[in-house]
Each structure stands twice: as structure tokens, then as C-alpha cells.
């Protein structure tokens, strides 16, 4: 029997997170990146706080569980999400999403290294095929490395995807998301939001609140409600059902959606190389990810 909740969760992650690259790019047009990241997480935390109050589920999660939640929050929200937001001040949404698409390579190698996945030539071939697609698109941007802001943005993005990959691996290895997902996310969002708010006041050159446009503010609210609350809940649910590599493969679908929206809304260029690379990426996803019955319910553990 198919797990329709899992299918729905996967679709939410694939589609919604594909739109967040565009939303981040729009938000950072007038709002400093660390403010975008911090307000996004704090607003998401406030929404979950209200949900927990209504459900009467707000409680202390214990020191041990808190330690795991803060680790996950640091890797996936402060490092991955925060640095991605900062990087988009100098990179296009399309390029940012392309770099993020290399995350499954890091996840695959990491999970093999710690024994969560077996070394599989088919999976490795698929991941490398996807990587070739990314390189195929990235090739035209080599001259841009002469720009220091561009180099910094690229460096931040590779730090971001490393944090994301580690977060996925640790979540599965340590079973961080056991228990009440909403409660765990509340602690994660609030911790990340507070830390990022401190970064915002420390590292933002200009935070004139009067210059923030309604367009950027609307994008930031979208990131909070859909990109954080809805998508992260779906993401954590998916991690409890399927392997980290399979969840991370969604980055490729995110990339296709992000590049299409960047072209449609922000007039970012899509070349013939992109179309060829998209075929390589989709083929690589299929080779790496497909297994008969992969969306069926996992058997209950005794």
C-alpha cells in the first residue's frame, strides 16, 4: 500500500523549496540577508508556538533532545539556510539552486562512510551523472570568479550545502526527529532566529527599516509560512520514512523549479546547456533514487 502522506510530503518539499530561491532573491533586494533569515525563522517559530498552545503540547523537551535539536538547527537553519540567504545577495537564484543541487553527492558519500547506505555503483553513477549536469551549466560562469563578491557567494554556498548534508545525515543517524515534530521545529526555529538576529545587527551594513519594500516583506513572509513551517514539517516527516539520500535527491527537482521561476519572474537566462543539463539531472535522479515500492510504508519496528 502506498504511503500517500509520504508522497504528499515529498511533493511539498520538492515544489515549495523550489520556489524559495526566488523568494529569497526578492527578499534580499531591499532587506539585509541576515534579517531575512532571522525574521523568517522567528515568525515560523511564533506560528508553531501558537499551534502548540492551541494543541496544549508546548513543553520542555529535555536536555538531551534539546542538544540534538540545537545541533540540527545550527547545521540546517543557521549554516545552510542562513548562508544560502547571504549568498543570494551576490548570486542569482538559478546559480544558487544549482550549487544546492550538489548536496546529494555529499549526503551519499557521507551516508556510505558511516554505514547508513551501502556502496552501490548504480547510485554512484546516478549521482555523478547529476553532477555532470550541474557542471555542464556551471561551465559558462567560470569567468565570473574574477568578481570577489561572486567568489564569496560561491564559497558561502558550498559551506551551506555542507551544513545541509551534515544535518540530513545526523538526523537519520541520531534519530533527531523522533517525537513531536512540531515541538522540535519550534525549538529549532526559535534558536536559529535568535542567533541569526544577532548576526543581522552585527554584520548588516545598512538596516534602514524604512527602505524595506512591501515586495521584499511579502517574500519574507512567504519564506516563513511556506518555506519554513510547511516545507520543513514535510521534510522531517519524509526523513522518518525514507533514506537521507532519497530525501536529498529532491534538491534536483528544487533546482529545475528554481531555474524556471528565475527565468519567468526575474528574467534570468536559460540556455540550451541548461536544457541538456536538466536531462542529465533528471536521468541521474531516476538512476539513483528509483526502487520498486520506495514510497510504500516502512514496516513498523518492534
Cell numbers given for 10:
515529498
Q: Is residue 233 part of a domain?
A: yes
**Residue 69 within any structural domain of the chain:** yes
The answer to whether residue 277 is domain-embedded is: no
Q: List the grid coordinates of 168.
A: 540530513
Contacts of 185 (CB under 8 A, 6+ apart): 44, 48, 229, 232, 233, 236
> Could you tell me the residue range of the domain that residue 81 belongs to?
4-104+145-270
Q: Per the structure, how many domains does the chain have?
A: 1
Q: Report the distance separating Cα 74 and Cα 68, nearest Å.
A: 10
Place of cell 516527516: 237
Domain assignment of residue 113, yes or no: no
Instruction: Judge whether 88 lies within some domain.
Output: yes
Q: Can you give the pLDDT of all 302 residues of the chain as single tens digits?
A: 567 788 888 888 888 988 999 999 999 999 999 999 999 999 999 999 999 999 999 999 999 889 989 999 999 999 999 999 999 999 989 888 878 877 877 887 787 787 777 777 787 788 788 778 877 766 766 677 778 888 899 899 999 999 998 988 887 676 655 678 889 989 999 999 999 999 999 998 877 888 999 999 999 999 999 998 898 888 878 877 776 656 666 666 787 888 889 989 989 887 777 778 777 877 776 776 566 554 455 444 43
Contact 133, 278 (CB under 8 A): yes
Instruction: Kindly state whether residue 78 falls inside one of the protein's structural domains.
Output: yes
Which are the contacts of 78, defined by CB distance < 8 A and separation ≥ 6?
Answer: 163, 192, 195, 196
pTM of the model: 0.84
Amino acid at each position: 500500500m502506498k504511503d500517500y502522506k509520504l508522497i504528499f510530503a515529498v511533493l511539498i518539499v520538492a515544489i515549495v523549496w523550489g520556489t524559495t530561491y526566488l523568494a529569497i532573491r526578492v527578499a534580499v533586494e531591499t532587506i539585509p540577508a541576515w534579517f531575512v533569515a532571522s525574521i523568517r525563522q522567528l515568525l515560523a517559530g511564533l506560528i508553531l508556538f501558537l499551534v502548540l498552545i492551541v494543541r496544549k503540547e508546548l513543553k520542555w523537551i529535555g536536555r538531551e533532545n534539546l542538544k540534538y535539536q540545537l545541533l540540527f538547527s545550527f547545521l540546517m537553519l543557521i549554516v545552510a539556510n542562513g548562508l544560502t540567504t547571504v549568498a543570494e545577495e551576490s548570486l542569482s537564484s538559478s546559480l544558487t539552486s544549482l550549487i544546492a543541487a550538489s548536496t546529494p553527492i555529499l549526503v551519499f558519500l557521507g551516508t556510505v562512510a558511516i554505514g547508513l547506505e551501502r556502496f552501490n555503483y548504480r547510485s554512484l553513477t546516478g549521482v555523478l551523472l547529476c553532477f555532470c549536469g550541474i557542471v555542464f551549466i556551471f561551465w559558462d560562469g567560470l569567468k565570473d570568479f574574477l568578481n570577489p563578491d561572486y567568489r564569496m557567494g560561491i564559497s558561502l554556498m558550498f559551506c551551506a550545502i555542507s551544513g545541509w548534508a551534515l544535518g540530513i545525515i545526523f538526523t537519520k543517524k541520531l534519530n533527531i526527529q523522533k517525537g513531536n515534530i512540531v515541538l522540535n521545529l519550534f525549538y529549532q526555529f526559535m534558536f536559529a532566529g535568535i542567533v541569526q538576529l544577532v548576526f543581522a545587527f552585527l554584520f548588516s551594513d545598512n538596516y534602514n527599516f524604512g527602505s524595506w519594500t512591501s515586495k521584499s516583506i511579502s517574500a519574507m513572509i512567504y519564506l516563513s509560512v511556506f518555506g519554513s513551517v510547511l516545507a520543513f514539517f514535510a521534510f522531517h516527516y519524509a526523513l522518518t520514512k525514507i533514506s537521507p539520500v532519497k530525501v536529498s535527491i529532491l534538491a534536483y527537482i528544487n533546482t529545475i523549479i528554481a531555474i524556471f521561476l528565475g527565468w519567468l519572474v526575474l528574467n534570468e537566462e536559460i540556455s540550451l546547456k541548461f536544457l541538456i543539463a536538466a536531462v542529465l539531472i533528471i536521468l541521474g535522479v531516476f538512476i539513483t533514487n528509483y526502487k520498486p515500492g520506495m514510497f510504500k510504508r516502512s514496516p513498523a519496528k518492534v
